[in-house]
Amino acid sequence: MIVDKKIKILVVDDFATMRKVIRNLLKQIGYDNVIEAENGQIAFKTLQSQQVDFIISDWNMPTMSGLELLKAIRADANLAKTPFLMVTAEALKENVVEAVKAGVNNYIVKPFTAEVLEGKIAKIIESI
Amino acid sequence: MDVRFINPFLEGTSNVLKTMAFIEPRAGKPYLKKDSLARGDVSGIIGLTGEVKGSLALSFSQPCILKIVSNMLGEEIKEINGDIKDAVGELTNMVSGVARKKLEAMGLTISAAIPTVVSGKDHSIVHVLGGPSIIIPFEIDEGSFVVDVSLK
């Protein structure tokens, strides 16, 4: 399956540097259509006004965490089906279980390479 | 400090830098540090609690961190700015995450706090436990950095 590299990706992370790092990794694998939000609340607002095809969100953020954002998206009829990739600093089993229950499509543990990110995105897109 | 705790941090640091900054740092011989003076110009420190307690710091010389963050962002950074401090916090977080995963495999469950970042010549690193810490020195072509860890 060929993945459409023109999809609009929303990167959510409270660290500006990490957003830039992810943007840089996405650019390396051909995704140029990227927008950013600095926390879950801003991301959710952005989603109300813009069509987004894919979300990559950090787990740990003040002012609406990644998990809270995921739950809000899954509860919103217009956004519920948006693919969601969660970024975490550690793959704690209880966190993974909680995210899966909340409807996450996949998760990625920091640090990660562009190739791993590419694989996760492709896997999610192929599965929907 | 138990010497078994050193390897997870050594391997964690190499793994994070290799993955995020495409740099393979060269590790030197660990040694004991008795003062609180930071060995670098900018440092990230994070508290650890659980079956192992203490703190972990990463302290970078300026040329070293400029090269690392420039590689991470794909753009040249010439001075220690907000991006650099953000990145040091994130690197500290990631090294702690990878090391904790390795310690977990040894049967030790540990949680981490939120990292803080300090910069400037001759700043201090105050470990949660106080007392001496273990330094794991690293080098890249552009400069040096250390992992400064104190655990019990």
Looking at the domain assignment, is residue A1 inside a domain? no
For position A56, which CATH number holds? 3.40.50.2300
Contact B86 A113 (CB under 8 A): no
CA dist B14 and B29 (Å) reads 14
Looking at the domain assignment, is residue A31 inside a domain? yes
Quick one: pLDDT at residue A94? 77
Q: Which residues of A touch B58 (CB under 8 A)?
A: none
Quick one: pLDDT at residue A1? 64
- pLDDT tens track for B19-56: 999 999 999 999 999 988 899 999 999 999 999 899 99
Looking at the domain assignment, is residue A4 inside a domain? no
Quick one: pLDDT at residue A128? 82
In sequence order, what are the residues at sequence separation of 6 or more whose Cβ sits closer than 8 angstroms to the Cβ of residue B101? A90, A91
Furthest-apart CA atoms within chain A: distance in Å: 37
Q: Are B99 and A111 in contact (CB under 8 A)?
A: no
> Is residue A114 less than 8 Å (CB to CB) from chain B?
no
ipTM over 0.85: no
Contact B83 A112 (CB under 8 A): no
Domain encompassing residue A41: 9-127
Test the B interface: residue of A21, A88, A118 with most B CBs within 10 Å: A21
- pLDDT tens track for A71-121: 999 999 999 999 999 998 776 777 888 999 999 999 999 899 999 999 999
Test the A interface: residue of B11, B14, B15, B19 with most A CBs within 10 Å: B19
B3-151 in CATH: which number? Answer: 3.40.1550.10
**Residue boundaries of the structural domains of chain B:** 3-151
- pLDDT tens track for B106-137: 999 898 888 999 999 889 998 988 879 999 99
CA dist B126 and B38 (Å) reads 9
Q: How far is CA A57 from CA A51, B7, B74, in A?
A: 16, 30, 21
Tally the domains of chain A.
1
